[in-house]
Amino acid sequence: MEDMENKAYIAKTRTKYDYEAIKKFNQVHSYSRVSGWIVSIIALFILIFAIVDTSFESYYRILIIAISLVWFVEFLTLPIISAKRAYKTSRLSQDAEVEVEYYDDFLKMITLKSGEKVGETVIKYAEIYKIKETKDFMYIYISGNQSVLAGKTNVEGDLEKVKDKLQENVKKYKRK
């Protein structure tokens, strides 16, 4: 551990965990599921079919249209609703900041609440489950259901060098 303390980081980011950041994460995470899109497309086709085909009795047509609309609207709004719930219920991450320092073969996450350090985690790049990169964030998945939001707008250092190192070491690296 002492060796880690003496190394200089390649890049460093600081991300505020506000409602907008959590909402963007939920949208990226939810909309990347192929099964949700397939079911939504099927619901849309059923909706169009129910509107165009007049051979159904009006009661069944209305029922099919209503169910299809509810599914489609739910799929599009669920990430926003779940972001509100996640933000309101998570006292640790609510308005916290996470500083991510990137080194040659590991990253260090420092959680800050009201400017004070409340936690620190070190993760080797080879132990990262996957990364999804968007225009504003890198979502670093530590496991299938746990991730860190690392912003790309407030960067100190060489983020491109970090991305190259992450792509070399993380099997599942996806850019959007």
Give the domain extent around 154: 2-17+95-175
CA 116 to chain centre: 25
Same domain, 78 and 109: no
pLDDT at 1: 47
Q: Which residues pair with 36 in a beta bridge?
A: none
Same domain, 124 and 38: no
Same domain, 83 and 121: no
Same domain, 128 and 154: yes
pLDDT surpasses 90 at 157: yes
**Is 117:111 a contact under the CB 8 Å cutoff?**
yes
Same domain, 100 and 171: yes
Same domain, 100 and 164: yes
Question: Which residue, chain included where needed, has tokens 């609309």?
Answer: 69
Q: Report how many domains make up the chain.
A: 2
pLDDT at 94: 66
Same domain, 85 and 99: no
What b/e string do you get for 84-117 counting C-beta neighbours within 10 Å, with b at 16 or more?
eebbeeeeebeebbbbbbbbeebbbbbbbbeeee
pLDDT in tens, 22-53: 777 777 766 666 666 777 777 777 777 777 77
Same domain, 99 and 13: yes
pLDDT at 2: 47
Same domain, 57 and 110: no
Mean pLDDT of the chain: 80
pLDDT in tens, 63-105: 777 877 777 777 777 777 777 776 676 665 666 888 999 999 9
Please say which residue of 49, 65, 89 terminates a domain.
89
pLDDT surpasses 50 at 172: yes
